[in-house]
Chains A and B, each alone.
Chain A
Amino acid sequence: MEQTHLPVGMLLQKATSIRAHILEMVSEAKSGHPGGSLSAVEILVSLYFYKMRHDPKNPNWPDRDRFVLSKGHAAPVLYSTLAEAGYLPLDELKTLRKINSRLQGHPDRKVPGVEYAGGSLGIGLSAAIGMALAAKMDKRKNRVYALLGDGELDEGQVWEAAMAGAKFKLDNLTAIIDRNGIQQDGLTEQIMPKEPLAYKWKAFNWHVLEVDGFDFRQLIDALEKAENMRNRPTVIIAHTVKGKGVSFMEWDPAYHGKAPDKETVRKLLETMGR
């Protein structure tokens, strides 16, 4: 059965559950990327539990909307969201990064619901363009969403794809940038400045929206506006905080790719009421 829209109150609950899953799974794995997973929780929740047309019981439904996680290191947020949606058992989350698990360190297509094997940065928007072109050729109504990291925007291929998305007038494509301001080596504006980011995308002929990436109403509103746009792809710059929800991780580049230990996570989950 197709996933139904949840009311905003329930989206908040889903976000809390998914944050807890992310912390549990990376601490169990003793590695992974919690920071950029926690910053993207509300983005994925608004897609999988509100906006996207998809069916966890029928992952290959041809008319489903597609989600491409271009920033593949945020695999924990994708797996947790897919598990919450019913694509895989919640129990399986603790196998993340372990030998013989389906849950590879970066997304693999073995997992039901994973549309794209992201990991090497900069490629996902191109793949999303291919999916959007295919939908147009087949005259299907489905939409394609791609989530990019802001550090990922250093990759030249993103801008090759940006040109192509505008050329092909892909109004069925929405890119979302997790603008958390931090990449592996430090602050994005120190490592390689992205600003003025909105102007860059405008100059590439995209429809540009900026939102608070933790505010469901703003996210949903932007996703609706993107759908109503004609002849141009939309990019939503979602302002977020890396490590959101865990005070000592927020804004700390060290938690880009470092897992908190199990005891710390146990205490954190207690404070989250779990």
Chain B
Amino acid sequence: MRTALAEALLELGSKDPRIVALGADTSVSIKTNLFGDRYPERFFNVGIAEANMIGIAAGLALSGKVPFVSTYSAFVPGKCLDQIRNAIAYPRLDVKIVSSHGGLSVGPDGASHQTVEDLAAMRAVPNMQVIVPSDGPSTRALIVQASMTSGPFYFRLARPDVPTMHTATSDLRIGKATVLRAGKDVSLIACGLLVNEALEAAETLSTENISAEVIDSHTLKPLDSETILRSARKTGAIVTSEEHNIIGGLGGAVAETVTDSYPVPVARIGIRDTFGESGEHPELMKKYGLTSKEIIETARKLVRTR
């Protein structure tokens, strides 16, 4: 995903002189230094000063630039909610925040560097659009679209390499969830790395004659309520999964939507309101119940008790 970010920025940089990038001493790690190498006059490394980075991005946007701001998601939004809400979201500026190493994906670094709350925080800020891509091609495509879509964005990327699910991205749209697999018994709605787990779960469930629909809900805000409600009407049961607190993330967004319009049982898979810890990322995903195994068990139970 980091490579996809770097490629998207290089592509945008060559097409649009308004594109600028800012880093906070993590740009080598998340590869935005590649943009800086190509366009040194359009790249600003502000050091370990995230609040300042957001403020500078606001000023650049107020002067007609389209700034991409990138560091680890623990620090943006973690260290600068105030700057994001007041300097960027309130005036609805064209600042695109693309944070990497989201969720538990920094693994051994431990809870201080893991994010379980960033999506909830960003969803609740008015004007903010929130995106969690599931693989490299969708990351690249959605970032390119965001550069041409007005208003502020928060992208949360994962650190590890992920399998490609979106082999073709021409139909991918911000605000439009992608149905990756059609089904009729249960809707598996996921974002980020959990999309692949949901696909694996659907495959296993199919051997038990449970037909699962898999939806990549990459855009958490504005949520594609149309696709989600259409699926809910068809299957009558939803399992959401995400690498985030079960409070306020994708599960919260989906539950709010179906509660308002078409109440069906919604089971949320996510981190159960706790901080993470050190460990290899796959170990953590297993320990905190964020794998296809939990999706399968939850879906099975939901379908049987319906």
Contacts and interface: CB of A to CB of B under 8 A. Distances in A.
B6 interface: no
Interface string A58-69: 000010001010
Contacts of B47: 160, 163-164
Range class of the A interface residue count: 20 to 34
B91 interface: yes
B90 A164 contact: no
Contacts of A137: 20, 41-42, 65
Nearest to B82: A120
Interface string B42-59: 101011010111111111
B128 to A, nearest CB: 15
Given A157-B52, A157-B55, A127 B86 contact: no
Contacts of B60: 130-131, 133-134
Given A127-B55, A160-B52, A133 B62 contact: no
B86 A123 contact: yes
A206 to B, nearest CB: 15
Contact of B63 (A120, A134, A156): A134
A66 B46 CA distance: 22
A121 to B, nearest CB: 10
Contacts of B64: 62, 134, 138
Interface in A95-141: 108-109, 115-117, 119-120, 122-135, 137-138
B52 A161 contact: yes
B179 interface: no
Q: Which secondary structure dominates where chain A touches chain B?
A: helix
Interface residues of B, number: 29
A130 B49 contact: no
Interface string B22-54: 000000000000000000011010110101111
A168 interface: yes
Contacts of A62: 64
Contact of A134 (B51, B65, B87): B65
Given A123-B51, A137-B41, A160-B51, A130 B86 contact: no
Contact of A128 (B46, B59, B82, B86): B59
A130 B55 contact: yes
A134 B59 contact: yes
Nearest to A109: B91
A130 B63 contact: yes
B83 interface: yes
B57 A130 contact: yes
Contact of B86 (A119, A131, A132, A134): A119
Given A134-B64, A160-B51, A126 B44 contact: no
B116 interface: no
A255 B263 CA distance: 53
A119 B58 CA distance: 14
Interface in B142-168: none
A129 B58 CA distance: 9
Contacts of B65: 130, 134, 137
Nearest to B87: A123
Contacts of B67: 130
B86 A120 contact: yes
B91 A164 contact: no
Contacts of B62: 66, 115-116, 127, 130-131
A126 B57 CA distance: 8
**A62, A66, A133, A163: residue with the most chain B Cβ atoms closer than 10 Å:** A133
A89 to B, nearest CB: 23
A130 B82 contact: no
B138 to A, nearest CB: 30
A160 B49 contact: yes
Contacts of B41: 137
Interface string B64-85: 1101000000000000001100
Contacts of B58: 116, 123, 126-127, 130
A256 to B, nearest CB: 20
B55 A125 contact: yes
Contacts of A66: 62-63
A129 B86 contact: no
A164 B63 contact: no
A115 B87 CA distance: 11
User: Which are the 5 A-B pairs with shortest beta-carbon distances?
Assistant: A130-B59, A126-B55, A134-B63, A160-B52, A160-B49
Interface of B: 20, 41-42, 44, 46-47, 49, 51-65, 67, 82-83, 86-87, 90-91
11 contacts: A117-B86, A120-B83, A126-B55, A127-B56, A129-B52, A130-B57, A130-B62, A133-B56, A134-B65, A157-B51, A160-B46
Given A122-B51, A130-B57, A137-B42, 17 more contacts: A108-B90, A120-B87, A123-B51, A123-B83, A126-B54, A126-B56, A126-B58, A126-B59, A127-B59, A127-B87, A130-B62, A130-B63, A134-B64, A157-B52, A163-B47, A163-B49, A164-B46
